[in-house]
Structure 1
Amino acid sequence: MKIKRFFAKDMRTALKEVKDELGVDAVIMSNKKLANGVEIVAAVDYDKAAPKVAAQPQRNAEPRAQAPQQSMHNFVRPEPQRAKPEPQAKVADSLQALLERQSPRPRSPELASMFSQSGIDTTDNYQEPAAQPRTKNMFIPESAAPVRPQTQADSLGFDDLDRDFDDLDSPVTARPQNKNNESEEMTTMREEMNAIRQLLEHQVSGLMQQDMARRDPTRACMVDRLVGMGIDKEVAQQMACFVPDDVSRQQGWKALLTMVEDQMQTTNNEILRQGGVYALVGPTGVGKTTTVAKLAALGAQKYGADKVALITTDTYRIGAYEQLATYGRIIGCGVKQVKDANELAEVLYHLRNKRLVLIDTAGMSQRDLRLTEQLNTLMRNQRVDIRSYLVLSATAQINVLQETVRHFKKVQLSGCIFTKLDESLSLGEIISIAIQNRLPIGYLTNGQRVPEDIRVANAEKLVKKAEQLYLKRTKAQHSRHQAVAPSTVGMYD
């Protein structure tokens, strides 16, 4: 028994190689589809194959028309010592029969030339029904194709190979289970590639930081201090690049803090200085109502209580109007409640003679679907120019602050107000938010007292306060981790 493995770009080429090298007596043992072609394992009886290849007398060649009528006994000889003649026309006819059973597809030019050299008629007489699947016992009418006798190729297993060949050529969509498996494999591969990419990015970033610390340790130290203050790392690295090289460490740090101050924008007390209509928007729990009361009290001190008015659009929270009305009675100014854009426009028209009108909006999460409706209420008003200030808590996470700014930017923001500075341990986050979003800072609040706990934003004071909090936190961490070494005197006595 002689067993050999064949590799080819397609099934037809592989079958031709099997026929040329082992003859039609070869038995296909297995076939497999590879990435770049197909693989066939074929076997043949070595004793029978050798003499057959050695001698093929011309006297046994029969005309092609008579080949299908011969019996299988004409091709098999009982004497093992004699060569078994195989007509060339019969060999070609077996390969032709194999190809005729395939679905009607255009043949390649190589196959057409091979048949033309062998003198074989390549006209396809068999027409397969389009809507019927191919099965082993499929009934074919006589008008569709002539009856073909069983050939030696069928007895050698080429019929099973034909079905396997159809399975290889069938589209993947015909096998949903395999498609699902491939989809899961692709998903797993993508996850692994993303993990590798993140690992490489992390390693490259670490190498760059180490290289920067080695080449310029002073600049790297300043970046670490800014990051320790809570400022975004990218912002810190960009600013550190502009620090002069020929300065001392202390001078470079002062220059870096000055650059941070210059990047910040403030509104210079716009609300109380200019007056007008202002709406305070923001998520729930950041202190919008208390901030409105503080600004209203300061406005009453400057313009008089009769020139200040308060409006609330909060119809969701229980007691929202009553809370603002209580502040209004204490300050001595009027308070109105509106439900939609039409009522807001009407109330603003009646309050057109007021010097300062403050609108307290309902506190909603940046992911609340009702937020769009509330913001549209402010944007639809065409009669009065309403300036919006975003109120943010200094205790919120940096990612929460970024997402809040992104959602509330649907309305044109004139500035922002940071609250709860007295509860925050770091102020670098709000500085980064203001710089990255080019959002002017209007006011800062640091308590619940009305109107004492509110300050006009000042960039220099805010940066200095952020540095003080950083130094205080660093000192506390150092003292907490510093431990006294235990005494070893008399331990081993």
Structure 2
Amino acid sequence: MNVRKFIAASARDALRTVKETLGPDAIILSNRSAPGGVEIMAVAARDIGMLAPANAREEIVVPADDYTVRLSGKAPVATPAAAPAARPAPAVASAARATPARTEVPLAPRPMPRVDPPQKAPEREAEVVPMGVMDEIRALRRIVEQHLAGFAWGESARSEPVKTEVLRQLLDAGFSPQLARELLAELPPSYDAGQALGWVRGVADRALLTIGDGADIVDRGGVFALVGPTGVGKTTTTAKLAARCVLRHGASRVALVTTDGYRIGAHEQLRIYGRILGVPVHVVKDAADLKQTLNELSHKHMVLIDTMGMSQRDRLVGEQVAMFAETAVQRILLLPATGRGDTLDDVVRAYNGPDLAGSILTKLDEAASLAASLDVVIRHRLCLHYVSNGQRVPEDLHLPNRPYLLHRAFKDAPEASPHRFAGVEPGLMMANSAGAPVAASGGRRG
């Protein structure tokens, strides 16, 4: 008898191999777990007759219900019974009766083979790193980043001393690392410090968007809403624009509207300006009231809307933006020149939208540097309409003077200034800054 042994990773794979090797009628003799999987001992159906003697194989009948493992789904084919033999002669028949009948003993059914499923390795629980260890890892990471930034700054100072010096001046002036990188991206390597600073100022000049004399909104006319955070000078700037329009087109062509009904006496201040200029002032409460008022004032050359000041993080900012978008009002954002760059970024993000026509810089007389405010105007591609440098109406409202603004912005910090960087501090600031640079070239003059 040809008994075969099969070893596979699982019982299913072993049975499939038995079927392919010994046929679908193979008989499983034993199975057990073995290194590497499951071990099965099997024999072909044609070799099972070798278990009995040769003279007994002809007389042993295997019943139909004897247990066999069939690896194919086919039912056994019934073999037709042999035709009965001819009746023997009387002498032979009597001899047959004298011989006792042999009892056929069926084979005992074999038990079902048991296949043990492969055991899974126990899963390891995830280890929880203590918070103190994580804090130490973050601290070590910061130390490594600072050391690398210092090395990079030192290497840059040795390889590109002019570019490094101009970068330090830009950071000292108040420009963001993001814009400073973009301004210096294509600096010619042959320039000295003076030429390099002039070249960078020219790049910033081309990136700054301003209106020209022929694009003054006072001459164009239209409906404009002055928006911005609290205390930026919206009411005073509204009066300055109204006074300029009255001087050019007459008081009958101008109208003032206020939506500020929250502050005590807010609309009274605008009414005082209206009485001085001879211009009517209208108070609106909601979007429907604003739409009706604007329809009544459609014959005016210019309508100026004074709005309520609020924090850029107030949810009412979104409602205000939606209200003006429904009525096709152009918004002009007022930015204080005294603000920090990150704060001004928040303001622009809160008030930005397709109907934002541009910006006005206020409080130039109070700002020590214009670098941060012009940095925000350049990076967000805002068109600068006017600048304001005082409280006088209308004298302290001007069209933007580009050379003057850039001169104020690129003014280097004094040597004794506590805000001046020293040593590798500019390198650390550049290393800690994040965000993709915004294109600073390709701007246009008004």
TM-score by length of 2: 0.64
Partner SS for 1:392:
strand
1:202-281 matched pairs, under 5 angstroms: 202-268=146-212, 270-281=216-227
Match of 2:381 among 438, 441, 454: 438
How far apart in 2 are the matches of 1:109 and 1:122? 19
Partner SS for 1:421:
coil
1:14-36 per-position Cα deviation (integer Å, ceiling 9, x unaligned): xxxxxxxxxxxxxxxxxxxxxxx
Question: Whose Rg is larger?
Answer: 2
Partner SS for 1:310:
strand
**2:341 equivalent in structure 1:** 398
How far apart in 1 are the matches of 2:389 and 2:354? 26
Structure 2 residue identity aligned to 1:395: T
TM-score by length of 1: 0.58
Deviation of 1:475 (Å): 6.2
How far apart in 1 are the matches of 2:136 and 2:193? 44
Q: Tell me if 1:289 matches 2:232.
A: no
| Contact map agreement 1:311 1:335 (CA 8 A) in 2 | yes
Q: CA RMSD in A?
A: 3.4
Partner SS for 1:333:
coil
**1:386 equivalent in structure 2:** 329
How far apart in 2 are the matches of 1:124 and 1:242? 73
**1:370 equivalent in structure 2:** 316
Deviation of 1:461 (Å): 1.4
Structure 1 residue identity aligned to 2:223: V
Partner SS for 2:335:
strand
1:228-268 per-position Cα deviation (integer Å, ceiling 9, x unaligned): 11111232232223333333322222222122111111123
Deviation of 1:292 (Å): 0.8
Change (3 A) 1:116 1:287: farther
Structure 2 residue identity aligned to 1:323: Q
Change (3 A) 1:390 1:108: farther
**1:318 equivalent in structure 2:** 264
1:455-480 per-position Cα deviation (integer Å, ceiling 9, x unaligned): 21122210112234x35x446679xx
Match of 2:307 among 361, 380, 386: 361
1:285-311 per-position Cα deviation (integer Å, ceiling 9, x unaligned): 111111111111111111111111111
How far apart in 1 are the matches of 2:370 and 2:113? 84
How far apart in 1 are the matches of 2:36 and 2:186? 69
Change (3 A) 1:235 1:451: same
1:421-477 per-position Cα deviation (integer Å, ceiling 9, x unaligned): 111122110111011111111111111221122221122210112234x35x44667
Task: Count residues with an aligned counterpart.
Answer: 321
| Contact map agreement 2:339 2:373 (CA 8 A) in 1 | no
Aligned-residue sequence identity (percent) comes to 36
Structure 1 residue identity aligned to 2:162: T
Structure 1 residue identity aligned to 2:387: L
Structure with more contact order per residue of length (Cα contacts < 8 Å, sep ≥ 6)? 2
Deviation of 1:409 (Å): 1.1
Change (3 A) 1:283 1:109: farther
Comparing 231-240 with 322-331, greater Cα deviation is found at 231-240
Structure 2 residue identity aligned to 1:461: Y
- Unaligned regions of 5+ residues in structure 2, if any? 1-31, 43-110, 420-446
Change (3 A) 1:278 1:474: farther
Change (3 A) 1:201 1:442: farther
Change (3 A) 1:283 1:108: farther
How far apart in 2 are the matches of 1:352 and 1:270? 20
**1:426 equivalent in structure 2:** 369
1:327-364 per-position Cα deviation (integer Å, ceiling 9, x unaligned): 11111111111111111111111111111111111111
1:146-185 matched pairs, under 5 angstroms: 169=122, 182=127, 185=129
How far apart in 2 are the matches of 1:108 and 1:250? 83
